Amino acid sequence: MESSDFFNEADIAALEPETKIGLLATVNPEGLPHVTLITSLQAGGPKRVMFGQFAQGLSKIHVKSNPRTAFLVLTLDRKIRMGKALWKESKTSGPEFEMFNEKPMFRYNAYFGIHTVHYLDLVEKQGPVGLPLLRLGAAMAATRLTGKSGAASKEKGVLKPWGKKLFNRLDAMKFISWVGEDGFPVIVPVLQCTAPSDSRLVFSPLAYSSQLKSLEKGQNAAVFGLTMKMEDILVRGFFRGYFRKRGMTIGMMDINWVYNSMPPVAGQIYPEPELKPVTEF
């Protein structure tokens, strides 16, 4: 995949529309990966990444304690651009602030607009590259054939039925992230990923095999699931490794954390947070 340390004019133009899938991977204070959908993510010049914030999620907190991030953008022409960037600063006014709030998605929204713009320094950019449709088809077929044999032995009530259904939808987009050796998160498409039980995800490495082979047994990983209706869910867990099932290789991840990142209120779903009484008004 083509790699550089700057955006060219075609990259800048391609990343400008808000009608795209933009993902930002961050690292939380415990050193674990986190993934957020940020459709406003775009290039702010040859060496700059920026995005507009309208909701308060964990990613905007993580970047202030650990500026290392990774991004992935899938545009309407099914081309992917991904890379690494260092969070630098945020502003609540300025030309970029005005630009974001003039975009139709935010200008005509009756409930919220962009209130903060975040700026990141580009470290590395890869792509554009098209989706490997033949390999994805083979990976999806292999995952479906071997997935049930990789199911957890007992249901644990981790994924709710809605979440499990999302991961098993053929039209859902899924992306996996983990923290690389350099401390930056890595983010890779895993459209082939499914949930054979409510506590495990499985996927064939036939697609994006060169990237997925660097995911090692025992690592913590996060998987972000997204539908075209902008419904999404984030899970995190322990990667068990790659196994041979029915003559094919399959990766397995045990889920131990589930997070709703959809507005208006993002929050942890599993383990279920303890309810605390309201003591201040």
CATH of domain 133-267: 2.30.110.10
How much is the average pLDDT of 156-165?
A: 91
Query: Residue 166's pLDDT is what?
Result: 96
Q: Is the per-residue pLDDT at 119 higher than 90?
A: yes
Query: Residue 143's pLDDT is what?
Result: 94
Window from 12-26, 137-151, 176-190, 220-234 with minimum mean pLDDT: 137-151
For the chain, the domains span 3-130, 133-267
- The answer to pTM > 0.95 is no
Query: Residue 258's pLDDT is what?
Result: 96
How much is the average pLDDT of 249-271?
A: 88
Check for a shared fold between 3-130 and 133-267. yes
Instruction: Give the tens place of pLDDT for each residue, 232-248.
Output: 999 999 999 999 988 89
Q: Is the per-residue pLDDT at 48 higher than 70?
A: yes
Instruction: Give the tens place of pLDDT for each residue, 56-100.
Output: 778 889 999 999 999 999 999 999 999 999 999 999 999 999 998
The total of other beta-carbon atoms located within 10 Å of residue 104's CB is 9
Phi then psi dihedrals of residue 168, to 5 deg: -95, 0
Top-level CATH class of 3-130? mainly beta
Instruction: Give the tens place of pLDDT for each residue, 175-231.
Output: 999 999 999 999 999 999 999 999 999 999 999 999 999 999 999 999 999 998 889
